[in-house]
Amino acid sequence: MIRRLVVLVAVTWPAASGAVAAALPGDQTIQHEEVRQVMGTLAAVRVWADNVPVGRAAVDTAFAVLVEVDSLMSTWNGNSPLSRLNRAPVDQWVPVGPDVCRVLAAAVELSRLTGGAFDPMVLPLVRLWRFQGGKATLPAAADLAAARALVDVGALAVEATRARLRRAGMAVDLGGIAKGYALDRAAAAMRSVGARGGVLDLGGNLLVFGVGAGREVAVVDPRHPGQLVLTVPLPAGAVATSGQYERFVTIEGRDYGHILDPRTGWPVPAGCSATVIASEALWADALATAVLVLGPEAGLALLERLPDVEGVVVVGGDILPTSGLMTTVPDQGP
Ligand code: ADP
Ligand code: MG
């Protein structure tokens, strides 16, 4: 069973929300927000624009990009270029297009950077644990070992518009990075039609650009998803949160989260969340997944090494930020 419990990252809007265009006091800028279902989650897009037609066009173009990226990179859709790559005969180049190649190349880079904690070749393990359907049982040790042997980013070759897999049974899963890429592209598309600012929120990933200052992001407690543990200022840029409290399979009464440690083949334990702030949503998305796999110590050490990247790990009641993160712990009252 797979269920989705909470929105992991929420933004505190500077004004009232709703799918209506409204004038901001003392300004000619209008804002407009819409929420739609896309990429297996809810997406909210808010725009600041000089007039209503530009605002609506920006929101529509953003959703069109999200739908397009999903159609390119979903492994649930058997017709996506990524699914065609996963089905192709061994060693055969598959034309998957420039967008998929860009994300594949970034995923390979992230895999190297994280020592394999983030690995786009994780799909054989995802399937073994039945995160894509079927009756879940604990995998046998031999099956785990066989699936782990197929998680090898060195066997993925990527060129500008085509890719190939070097061994039978290998398969790519961009679920840990595609939402971030989709947000980066959607924001660029909004700007290109004249948006002056925007906030895009896609299932735990958030991107903020341009006018509409004063935003902060609230991080929720992984053990009590209704409670905020801290708020982080986000004037511009991206933030992503990964945690094992969002999608599960239940096996023999126990919940197993959907983020897998490619080094062991097992799901990362629950009760921890990783939030990463970066200028691009692609990086925030993939790094949040990686930090969750690496755990607090190695994960935060990785973030400290990266320029212009900050983050916070919440584990067992501890809030562990990177040294450059400005945080405010919310006043929970008496
Ligand atoms: P969400 O998709 O809920 O936003 P993440 O960004 O953390 O959460 O991505 C989790 C997804 O990434 C999983 O559903 C799976 O498709 C894929 N995945 C799982 N483990 C890994 C991993 N170690 N490296 C890369 N991708 C992973
Ligand atoms: Mg991710």
Residues 229-286 have pLDDT tens digits of: 888 888 889 999 998 876 778 888 888 889 999 999 999 988 889 999 999 999 999 9
In the predicted structure, residue 23 carries a pLDDT above the cut 50:
no
What is the model's pLDDT at position 9? 37
What is the model's pLDDT at position 214? 54
What is the model's pLDDT at position 194? 97
Mean pLDDT for the chain overall:
87
Taking a 5 Å cut-off on Cβ, the residues next to ion ligand 2 are 176, 285, 288-289
Confidence band for 15, pLDDT divided at 50, 70 and 90? very low
Cβ 267 under 6 angstroms from ligand 1: no
- Work out the average pLDDT over 19-38: 66
Cβ 246 under 6 angstroms from ligand 1: yes
- Work out the average pLDDT over 68-87: 97
In the predicted structure, residue 133 carries a pLDDT above the cut 80:
no
Give the side-chain half-sphere CA count within 13 A for 331.
2
What is the model's pLDDT at position 27? 52
In the predicted structure, residue 82 carries a pLDDT above the cut 50:
yes
CB of 218 closer than 8 Å to CB of 233? no
Cβ 9 under 6 angstroms from ligand 1: no
Q: Identify residue 68 by its one-letter amino acid code.
A: E
- How far, in Å, is the centroid of ligand 1 from the Cα of 289? 6
What is the model's pLDDT at position 22? 42
What is the model's pLDDT at position 330? 67
- How far, in Å, is the centroid of ligand 2 from the Cα of 202? 11
In the predicted structure, residue 34 carries a pLDDT above the cut 70:
yes
- Work out the average pLDDT over 41-57: 94
In the predicted structure, residue 104 carries a pLDDT above the cut 90:
yes
The Cα-based distances of 121 to 22, 85, 173, 174, 255 in angstroms read: 45, 12, 6, 9, 23
Ligand having the closest approach to the CA of 202: 1
- Work out the average pLDDT over 183-199: 97
Instruction: Compute, in degrees rounded to 10, the torsion defined by CA atoms 301, 263, 261, 207.
Output: 50
What is the model's pLDDT at position 14? 36
What is the model's pLDDT at position 136? 75
In angstroms, the CA 91 to CA 64 distance is 33
Pocket test for ligand 1, best of 122, 123, 294 (most atoms within 8 A of CB): 122
In the predicted structure, residue 55 carries a pLDDT above the cut 90:
yes
Confidence band for 35, pLDDT divided at 50, 70 and 90? very high
Cβ 118 under 6 angstroms from ligand 1: yes
Cβ 164 under 6 angstroms from ligand 1: no
Confidence band for 176, pLDDT divided at 50, 70 and 90? very high
CB of 29 closer than 8 Å to CB of 54? no
Ligand having the closest approach to the CA of 175: 1
- How far, in Å, is the centroid of ligand 2 from the Cα of 281? 9
Rounded to a whole number of angstroms, the CA Rg of the chain reads 20
Across the beta sheet with 162-165, what order do the strands follow?
Answer: 94-95, 162-165, 156-158
In angstroms, the CA 124 to CA 23 distance is 50
Confidence band for 10, pLDDT divided at 50, 70 and 90? very low
Q: How far is CA 104 from the centre of its chain?
A: 15
Ligand having the closest approach to the CA of 278: 2
Ligand 1 atom nearest the C-alpha of 247 is: 3
The Cα-based distances of 79 to 72, 74, 87 in angstroms read: 9, 9, 10
What is the model's pLDDT at position 54? 95
What is the model's pLDDT at position 166? 97
Cβ 249 under 6 angstroms from ligand 1: no
- How far, in Å, is the centroid of ligand 2 from the Cα of 259? 9
Cβ 260 under 6 angstroms from ligand 1: yes
